[in-house]
Amino acid sequence: MSKTLSGVGATPLAGVGTVRWYEPTIPEFDRESDDPEAERQRFVDARDWARAAIDEERERVAERVGEEEAAILEAHRQFLDDPQIESAVDAEIEGGATAEAAVEAAFADPIEQYEATGGRVAERADDLRDVRDRLLRTLAGVEDVDLDALPDETILLAERLVPSDAAGLDPDRVAGLATVVGGRTAHAAIVARAIGLPAVVGVGDPLREIENGTTVVVDGEAGVVIVDPDEETRTAARTEREIDVIDEQVATADGRSIEVAANVGRPGELEGAIDSGADGVGLFRTEFLFIDRTSPPDEDEQFETYSEALQAFPGERIVVRTADVGGDKPIDYLDLPAEANPFLGDRGIRRSLGVDADLLETQLRALLRAAGTAREEGDATGDLAVMFPMVADVAELDAALERVDAVAAALEDAGEPCAIPELGVMVETPAAARMAPELADRVAFLSIGTNDLTQYVMAADRDNDRVTTLHDPLHPPVLRTIADAIDGGHERDAWVGMCGEMAGDPALTELLIGLGLDELSASAVTIPQVKARIQETDTEAAEAVAERALAAETRSAVLDVLDGDD
């Protein structure tokens, strides 16, 4: 008899296959040694090998998945080279410990400290464990599991997956994955969406009861793992993986056009966006151009990158976000300060108008040059739009717009091709949502970033498993904040889009249309399903759903509305 386990759907796809547990093991090791010099050399050799492996994996992840996920491996490299950890290892070895025992002891306190901090910072404890275990396996001469060589139709189960693990999966062989812990914005979930892999995360302890060799269905849209499914369920899961790409722009059943664009982090992701049928780019995360280098990209390099994106989508809009530096994005050469809560600290537009003013000016010069060149080339390229991140104050936007005007004037004086693109604001703070009409008075569009907006409205860290249920945009306060932002933008004739994870969930497409959004931007893998849902949706019916959802007082009541149970 089949059994259904509930979790968090990470990718709106379903797959069926045979379970294989991914359980990297740490071998037993001796704890005492009378040769400190030899143990020290063993540690140095293992660290050098691990460093090279991380660098290789980082390149693979960047190429296959994207810079956002690759940046996490850069953090792993920083832990590997942390002088405090190295000093602790040296002290343990001098005290008679083997290299393995010294590594285990040196990482224990930092892991405990990160876990005690809680919130998003606690996620670093998992990164430290990953680095520690890599060193221990290297010292023991144990090879990692080759995830790229799994048998066809594998369903991979794991406690958790780090980006390098998930990026090694071949979606043509692996039918899906499920994890014990994690939420929709966990590393494994993000990577699964990027490579088009059915995934359910945060299933909890019941997942551990599934044995190797069991047949299961992973339904990332419903957020369930079905153990020992019947033949009808298996057939439906296999059929669902066959997705028709819709290349042209789509409209609702009653003729209302909705743009469906892609979120990208680097030029290498543009091809996947094109293949998915994206109507341009709704979010180009340019901060990932600044990561994993010793100095920022210069104006010409950025100009070429933005021009490449414009040329990839002739006649379509390319929305570029200025660098959202800060938060959890490590950029060594900027010497970002340690902050107790970096997501409430100096990030986004705050840094761009302050300590990173020179970086903003260089980026704006490249963007305005790209916009000017594109306009000269006409239909051969896309149309550039630029938006500013983490705006919380109208004065911040005014200052940013003044910078745009100053850069444009300087380029024109120098005789450079130049045009001021369509300008917009990311609505990811409650302050921006509340001031949407005033912001829309100054720009052409607003784009709602639901990942940050949800965690700020609900005071719930999106990467803290303890508050996963709170980090859901279907909570009434978040839905009403989104609705206010949309209404405020439309009130002042701005178009309003959404580029958070919520936009890529086909189960929510009808609701988002009913709320009045003009554009949805999502991970490339979800675009075909979102477009198909738009074509099936009647605007009047969607508006009725949205009205009932906004009147609901609890998340469960909103879910009832979406399920048609109200």
Confidence of residue 268 (pLDDT cuts 50, 70, 90): confident
Q: What is the largest CA-CA distance in the chain?
A: 79
**Whole-model pTM?**
0.73
CATH of domain 251-562: 3.20.20.60
CATH of domain 36-140: 1.10.274.10
Confidence of residue 65 (pLDDT cuts 50, 70, 90): low
151 DSSP assignment: P
Average per-residue pLDDT for the chain: 88
The answer to whether 76 is a known catalytic residue is no
The answer to whether 187 is a known catalytic residue is yes
Architecture of domain 3-24+145-240: 3-Layer(bba) Sandwich (3.50)
Mean pLDDT of 294-320: 95
Given a cut of 80, is residue 331 above it in pLDDT? no
Given a cut of 90, is residue 167 above it in pLDDT? no
Sketch the domain layout of the chain as residue ranges.
Answer: 3-24+145-240, 36-140, 251-562
d(C-alpha 522, C-alpha 504), whole Å: 5
Give residues with Cβ within 8 angstroms of 437, minimum separation 6: 488, 489, 491, 492
| pLDDT value, residue 269 | 84
Query: pLDDT for 135-159, tens place per residue?
Result: 998 898 876 666 767 888 999 998 8
| pLDDT value, residue 327 | 66
Which residue in the list 418, 475, 490, 499 is annotated as catalytic? 499
d(C-alpha 522, C-alpha 262), whole Å: 5
Confidence of residue 310 (pLDDT cuts 50, 70, 90): very high
Contact 387, 426 (CB under 8 A): yes
Query: pLDDT for 350-409, tens place per residue?
Result: 999 999 999 999 999 999 999 999 988 887 899 999 999 999 999 999 999 999 999 999
Confidence of residue 222 (pLDDT cuts 50, 70, 90): confident
| pLDDT value, residue 64 | 64
Which residue in the list 187, 471, 475, 490 is annotated as catalytic? 187
| pLDDT value, residue 450 | 94
Give residues with Cβ within 8 angstroms of 215, minimum separation 6: 16, 17, 18, 19, 228, 229, 234
Beta strands in 124-220 (DSSP E): 154-158, 174-179, 199-201, 215-219
Beta strands in 462-539 (DSSP E): 495-498, 519-522
List, as one string, the DSSP characters of 269-291: GHHHHHHTT-SSEEEEEGGGGSS
